[in-house]
A and B are shown apart, each in its own frame.
Chain A
Amino acid sequence: AQSVTQLDSHVSVSEGTPVLLRCNYSSSYSPSLFWYVQHPNKGLQLLLKYTSAATLVKGINGFEAEFKKSETSFHLTKPSAHMSDAAEYFCVVSDPASGTYKYIFGTGTRLKVLA
């Protein structure tokens, strides 16, 4: 069975400092992994995806994530936080090889950026 654990429900950083949002996954197959961002009262926007190509994945708005199979992790990072990064972030796993494209979501990490 697939599952995703986001290790922090809330993260606070100062503007201009690095961001680290942690995600661990469990999957029986070769997973596809995604990070999405949700701003208040909005839908989900895809930040980046891992689908068994390069393990270091670059996304939009300066975000990147590294797939580490040995640690079953897919942490999201950004070198320098901006006020506009304040939002909720979701780590997602999908296992198309298992016959389904459905997403399994983590519980989310709310990022707060302090001026």
Chain B
Amino acid sequence: KAGVTQTPRYLIKTRGQQVTLSCSPISGHRSVSWYQQTPGQGLQFLFEYFSETQRNKGNFPGRFSGRQFSNSRSEMNVSTLELGDSALYLCASRSGTSSYEQYFGPGTRLTVT
């Protein structure tokens, strides 16, 4: 099975712009979660989607949003980018049944200048 894929892998944006990141989960997986990784804050949970519904949301401002499509692919959007949004954004998929483990993609490296 193909793993979790994320596009693009690298992105450079200017402060104030918005960005959309994409994630395709492992085939058959219905849950997608997003995490932000920074040197200062480490890995932090953003949100989880399951069958197109947001199940959980972390402590991030409303500028961070996401959605999931009927094919389980997910997108994350960040509006009005700030310098502090520079990070590695990781997507993880889970089968959504009784398994708890998540499988991560390679991440999207976002740099805000």
Contact = CB atoms under 8 A, between A and B. Distances in A.
Interface of A: 32, 34, 36, 42-46, 49, 51, 90, 94, 96, 100-105, 107-108
Interface of B: 4, 31, 33, 35, 42-45, 48, 55-56, 58, 90, 92, 94, 100-107
5 contacts: A43-B104, A43-B106, A101-B33, A103-B35, A105-B43
A107 to B, nearest CB: 5
Contacts of B45: 102-104
B94 A101 contact: yes
A99 to B, nearest CB: 8
A47 B4 CA distance: 17
Given A42-B106, A102-B48, A51 B42 contact: no
A96 B90 CA distance: 20
Contacts, number: 53
A100 B90 CA distance: 18
A36 B58 CA distance: 21
B56 A94 contact: no
Say whether chain B's binding surface is mostly helix, strand, loop, or mixed. strand
A87 B31 CA distance: 27
A101 B58 CA distance: 12
Contact of A94 (B55, B90, B100): B100
B101 A90 contact: no
Given A102-B58, A105-B43, A43 B90 contact: yes
A100 B48 contact: yes
A51 B98 CA distance: 11
B106 A49 contact: no
Contacts of B56: 100-102
Contact of B33 (A32, A36, A103): A103
Contact of A105 (B42, B94, B106): B42
B101 A49 contact: yes
A45 B104 contact: yes
A90 B42 CA distance: 10
In this complex, which of A34, A49, A100, A101 has the most chain B Cβ atoms within 10 angstroms of its Cβ? Answer: A101
